[in-house]
Amino acid sequence: MSTSTDHGRPDPDAGTLALTHDGRPVADRGDTVCVIGAGASGLTAVKNLKEHGFGVDCYERETGVGGAWNWRHDRSPVYGSTHLISSRPFTQFPDFPMPDDWPDYPHHSQLLAYFERYADHFDLRSHIWFGTEVVRVEPVAGDRWDVTTRSTGGYGPERTSRYAAVVVANGHNWSPKLPRYEGLEEFRGEIMHASSYKDPAQLRGKRVLVVGAGNTGCDIAVEAAQQASRCWHSTRRGYWYAPKYVLGRPADQVNDALLALRVPLRVRQWLYHWTLRLTVGDLTRFGLPKPDHRVYETHPIANSQLVYYVGHGEITPVPDVTRFHPYGVELSDGRQIDPELVVFATGYLPRFEFLDPKIIGDDEGAGRPRLWLNAFTPGHPTLAVAGLVQPDSGIFTLSHWQTVLFARLLRLRRTRPDRAAAFAGKVEAHAGERYSGQVKDSSRHWFEVGHADYLRAVQRALHDLEGNR
Amino acid sequence: MRGREWARPVRPVRREVLSATPELEEGRPPLLFVPGFGHGAWAFAEHWLGHAASRGFGAYALSLRGHGGSGPAPDATLRAYAHDVVQVAASLPRQAVLVGHGAGALVVAHALARYPARAAVLVAPVLGGWGTLGAALRGNPLGTLPALVGGPLRLTRRQLFSRELPEEQARAYVSRLGRAGRRAQWQLLTGRAPEPPVGDPPVLVLGSPDDRVVPAATLTRAARRFGSAPLLFPGMGHDLMLDARWSEPVDAILDWLQKEPTPSA
Ligand SMILES: Cc1cc2nc3c(=O)[nH]c(=O)nc-3n(C[C@H](O)[C@H](O)[C@H](O)COP(=O)(O)OP(=O)(O)OC[C@H]3O[C@@H](n4cnc5c(N)ncnc54)[C@H](O)[C@@H]3O)c2cc1C
Ligand SMILES: NC(=O)c1ccc[n+]([C@@H]2O[C@H](COP(=O)([O-])OP(=O)(O)OC[C@H]3O[C@@H](n4cnc5c(N)ncnc54)[C@H](OP(=O)(O)O)[C@@H]3O)[C@@H](O)[C@H]2O)c1
C-alpha cells in the first residue's frame, strides 16, 4: 500500500519547461499518460497503459480506489445491501477473475476487495495521486493536454502538468438526476435521492414512496416492503422484472448461451416472455402497468423479489407522480397518497465539468458526448473516455477492452502513424454509433449497449488497428 | 468475446497450493509452478519451492484438479486446468511468473491468454498435437497405448529420471504419480492451439536433450515459437525438478528472472 513513494509522479519543480496559454507554469510529463479517476475503469486504464509500456499518472479525488464500489466515499451510490446485478463471469476483468468460490452475485464489499487486490496485484497504487481532483483538461499543440489539479475540497494551489494523452474514467453514476415537480418545495415530508440511501433503518416504520424502477428503485422498494410500514412504488411505465435465476442458472448466463448460438433477438424476446409467463404470469393483475416495450428495450432489471412482494401486497404499484402538496403526493391517475419519506431512485447523469463540452461533442453541455465506441472523440486522437457504457452485463470487461484499444492506438501513433490516422478517420466517420437494439428514449439509455454487439465492435477495431484483417 | 465461456463457468473445486516464502520480502515476483499430467504440487515441494524461497522468490505450486491434494475431477478439461492456474495466479499478492512442466506447460500456455503473467517458463514442455503421441509411443509404447482409449498414461522411471537418481527414490516418485482427466488427455492431442499470451510476457524454454518424453527437436520448436532458444541440461530425465541435479535448472530460471525484470514493452 505504498502511496508515499514518489515514483512516476509529476514533480512541479523539476521539468517546468512551458507555460499555459494564460501564463502559469506547466510540468512537462513527456510521454506519460494521465488517467482521471481510480474506479474500476481508471484502474484498468492504468494497468493496461502500464502493460503497454507507458508511464501513467492517475488522479483520484477520493482517498481510495474502487470508485462507486467504495462505500466509504461520499459520492458512492451503493447501499448496504447492494449485490451485483450481472453475474460473476460477466462482471470480472477478463484477465483477472474473481475467486470462483464467490457467490454468483457478490456483495459490494467483495467488489471493493476485488478492486483493491487488482490494484495491489498489478502495483497500480504507486501511480495514483489520491485526494487530488482534476479541475481542468485543456488541449494544447501537438495533440497534448494540460491537466490542472488541486487537493479535493478546493484548498491548496492548483498545479498544471502536460501529458501526451488523457483517459477520462470519472464514472457516470455519482451525480444524482433529480426531476422537478410542482409543489416539491412545500412538501413537509422527508425527501432523498437514492444516492444518500445507505441502510434499511432509514425506512423502518415509515410510509415510503419510491420513485423509479431502475435496479436501485427496485432494490429499495423491496427493502421498504420488508422494513417500512407502507411502500408505494411509482413508475412512469411498465417494465419487465427479470428474475436473477432462470432454468437453474443466473439469467445472464442463459442469455449468453443463446447469444453464443446466435439465436436472433426476436426469438430471444419470445423465449423470455414465455419463461416469465410460466413463472410469475401476467403482472397487470397486481396493478402493475403493462410494459410499453419489449424485453431488452429498457436497461435490464434483475430482481427476483420485487414481484414477490407485490404479490404479497407489501408493495403497492402506483403511476407517475404529478405534483406534491404539503402533506401528500398526487399521482397521474388522480389518486393522492401520504408518504412520510420519498426516495427518488431516478438515476444519475454523467458530468465532465473539467472539459469544454465541445471537445467531446456534447454541444449542449448536457453530459451526453458524441463518441465512437462510446470512447473516442473526433478530432482528439489522444483523448479517450473509459467506462461510459451502460451494458446489459458488467461494465469492467468493456472498460478493459476500451483501454487496451487506446493503449494500442497510442503505441501505433509512434510506430505506425498511418494506421493511427486510419483509426482517427473511423472515429470521425462513426461517432455517435449505437451498439444496442432499439431502446426507449430516456437519459438512462444514452449509453446503453448490448455487451455482445459492443465487444464485437471493439474487437473489430482492434483487429483493424493491428492490421490482422 | 467469450460468451460461451461466460455462459458456462468452470465448476469451482478445492485446490491444493503448497508454498515457500522468503524470510525477507524483496519485491521479487512470486513464482507459480504448474505440474504436468499425473504430477501434483508435491513434485515441486521436494526441492524447487524451498530453493526459490531461499533465493528471495515467493514460490507456490498447485495441484491441478484431480491431482495431488486437489478435489477430484474425472471429467476435467484443459480449460478447467487453465482456470485453476489463473485462479491461483490471481490470488497471489503480486503479478506472478508461471512455470509449467510437461503438459503443465501447455496448461500455462493456455493460462497466459487469460492472465498477464510477469513472465513464463516452460520446462520440458509437452505442447500437444499428434507429434507428442509419436514421441510417447516410441519412448514407452506399453504405458502410452491405454491412454489412447481413455485409460491412464503410465510413465516409467526411465522416462522421468536419469540413472544418477537412486533407484529407490525414483521408484518412490513414480508410485506417487496420478492421472489426468480422460478428456484433458484427448485435448492434449486434438485440442486447439493456445491463443496468444496477453501482456507480452517474456518466455523461457528449458529441458534436457536426454528427456525420453520430450525430444530435443520439440524443445527447439517450442522455444522458437516464443522467439528464443531452449536452455539445455544434458543428462537429465523429463522430471527436471526431481532428478538428481535438480538445482541446475531452477538456478537457471531464477538467474534469468533476475536479468529479465519487466515484460518487454
Ligand atoms: C447501486 C449501483 C449498482 C451497480 N451495479 C453494477 C453491476 O452489478 N455491474 C456493473 O457492471 N455495474 C454496476 N453499476 C454501475 C457502476 O457505475 C460501475 O460498476 C462502475 O462503478 C463504473 O466504474 P467507473 O470506474 O467507470 O466509475 P466510478 O466507479 O464512478 O469511478 C470514477 C472515479 O473517478 C473519480 N473522479 C471523478 N471525477 C474526478 C475528478 N474530476 N478528479 C479526480 N477524480 C475524479 C471518482 O472519485 C471515482 O473514484 C452499479 C451502479 C450503482 C449505482
Ligand atoms: N447491482 C445492482 O444491484 C444495482 C443496483 C442498482 C443500480 N445498478 C445499476 O446502476 C445504474 C443506475 O441505476 P438506477 O436504478 O440508479 O438508475 P436508472 O437505471 O437510470 O433508473 C432510473 C429510474 O427512474 C425513472 N426516472 C428517471 N427520470 C424520471 C422522471 N423524471 N420521472 C419519473 N421517473 C423517472 C426511470 O424511468 P424511465 O425508464 O422511464 O426512464 C427509471 O425507472 C444502472 O446501470 C443499474 O443497472 C445496479
For A50-94, the pLDDT digits (tens) are 999 999 999 999 999 999 999 988 889 999 999 999 999 999 999
What pLDDT sits at residue A213? 95
Quick check: B86 and B15 in contact, CB under 8 A? no
Query: What pTM did the predictor assign?
Result: 0.93
Looking at the domain assignment, is residue B103 inside a domain?
Answer: yes
Cα of first residue to Cα of last residue in chain B, in angstroms, is 25
Strands (E), B35-90: 59-62
- Which residues of chain B fall short of a pLDDT of 50? 263-265
Task: Indicate yes or no: CB of A253 within 8 angstroms of CB of B6.
Answer: yes
B6 shares contact with chain A (CB less than 8 Å): yes
Task: Identify which has the larger pLDDT, B86 or A242.
Answer: B86
CATH superfamily ID and name for A16-175+349-466: FAD/NAD(P)-binding domain (3.50.50.60)
Expressed as residue numbers, the domain containing B110 is 10-259
Q: What are phi and psi of A276, to 5 degrees?
A: -65, -40
pLDDT tens per residue across span A328-373: 999 999 999 999 999 999 999 999 999 999 999 988 888 899 999 9
What pLDDT sits at residue A220? 97
Quick check: A167 and A35 in contact, CB under 8 A? yes
What pLDDT sits at residue A2? 37
Res. A22: pLDDT tops 80: no
Residues of chain A whose C-beta is under 8 A from some C-beta in B? Answer: 51-53, 88-90, 94-97, 99-101, 117, 120-123, 252-254, 256-257, 259-260, 452, 455-456, 459
What pLDDT sits at residue B2? 66
What is the CA(A76)–ligand 1 centre distance, in A?
A: 8
What pLDDT sits at residue A282? 85
Give the integer Cα–Cα distance in Å for A61 and A107: 24
Task: Domain count for chain B, please give it.
Answer: 1
| Chain B residues touching A52 at Cβ < 8 A | 265
What is the CA(A172)–ligand 2 centre distance, in A?
A: 12
Q: Where are chain A's structural domains?
A: 16-175+349-466, 184-344
Looking at the domain assignment, is residue B265 inside a domain?
Answer: no
Residue of B nearest to A123 (CA): B94
Looking at the domain assignment, is residue B122 inside a domain?
Answer: yes
Topology alike, domains A16-175+349-466 and A184-344: yes
Ligand nearest to the CA of A299: 2
For testing contact with chain A, the best of B6, B92, B97, B112 (most A CBs within 10 A): B6
| Chain B residues touching A89 at Cβ < 8 A | 5-7, 9
Of A99, A100, A117, the CB nearest to B10: A100
Portion of chain A with pLDDT greater than 90, in percent: 77
Give the integer Cα–Cα distance in Å for B13 and B16: 10
Looking at the CA of residue A86, tell me the nearest atom of ligand 1: 8
B163 shares contact with chain A (CB less than 8 Å): no
Quick check: A400 and A95 in contact, CB under 8 A? yes
Chain B, window 100-139: residues with a beta carbon less than 8 angstroms from a chain A beta carbon: 114-116
What pLDDT sits at residue A415? 93
Residue A286 neighbours by CB distance under 10 Å: 16
What pLDDT sits at residue B5? 76
| Chain B residues touching A99 at Cβ < 8 A | 87, 90-91
Res. A3: pLDDT tops 50: no
> Which cell goes with A368?
451526453
Of B6, B8, B12, the CB nearest to A100: B12
**Ligand 2 in contact with A84 (CB < 6 A)?**
yes
CA dihedral B85→B88→B90→B96, nearest 10 degrees, is -80
Give the integer Cα–Cα distance in Å for A217 and A320: 14
Residues 6+ apart with CB under 8 A from A386: A41, A42, A44, A45, A167, A168, A169, A375, A399, A402, A403, A406
Res. A10: pLDDT tops 80: no
Q: Give how far the C-alpha of residue B48 lies from the chain's centroid of Cα atoms, to the nearest Å.
A: 13
Residues 6+ apart with CB under 8 A from A26: A16, A17, A18, A19, A20, A146, A160, A161, A162
What pLDDT sits at residue A38? 97
**Ligand 1 in contact with A216 (CB < 6 A)?**
yes
What is the CA(A56)–ligand 1 centre distance, in A?
A: 20
**Ligand 1 in contact with A170 (CB < 6 A)?**
yes
Average pLDDT on A318-322 reads 96
Average pLDDT on A390-415 reads 95
Q: What is the DSSP letter of A182?
A: B
Give the integer Cα–Cα distance in Å for A376 and B28: 37
Looking at the CA of residue A65, tell me the nearest atom of ligand 1: 49
User: How large is the ipTM?
Assistant: 0.91
Task: Indicate yes or no: CB of A89 within 8 angstroms of CB of B6.
Answer: yes
Ligand 2 atom 21: residue of nearest CA: A214
For testing contact with chain B, the best of A100, A110, A124 (most B CBs within 10 A): A100
**Ligand 1 in contact with A41 (CB < 6 A)?**
yes
For testing contact with chain B, the best of A56, A110, A121, A412 (most B CBs within 10 A): A121
Task: Indicate yes or no: CB of A257 within 8 angstroms of CB of B7.
Answer: yes
> Which cell goes with A397?
470487461
Task: Indicate yes or no: CB of A88 within 8 angstroms of CB of B9.
Answer: yes
Give the integer Cα–Cα distance in Å for A393 and A256: 10
Task: Indicate yes or no: CB of A121 within 8 angstroms of CB of B94.
Answer: yes
Task: Indicate yes or no: CB of B8 within 8 angstroms of CB of A452.
Answer: no
Average pLDDT over chain A, rounded to an integer: 91
Helical (H) or strand (E) element with A411: helix A396-415
Res. A5: pLDDT tops 50: no
CATH number of the domain bearing residue B192 = 3.40.50.1820
**Ligand 2 in contact with A400 (CB < 6 A)?**
no
> Which cell goes with B165?
537418481
Q: How, if at all, do strands A376-377 and A341-344 pair?
A: unpaired
B261 shares contact with chain A (CB less than 8 Å): no
Looking at the CA of residue A237, tell me the nearest atom of ligand 2: 40
Q: How far is CA A263 from CA A87, A247, A259, A411, A452, in A?
A: 21, 17, 6, 38, 12
Looking at the CA of residue A43, tell me the nearest atom of ligand 1: 25
Average pLDDT on A380-403 reads 95
Q: Does domain A184-344 have CATH number 3.40.50.460?
A: no
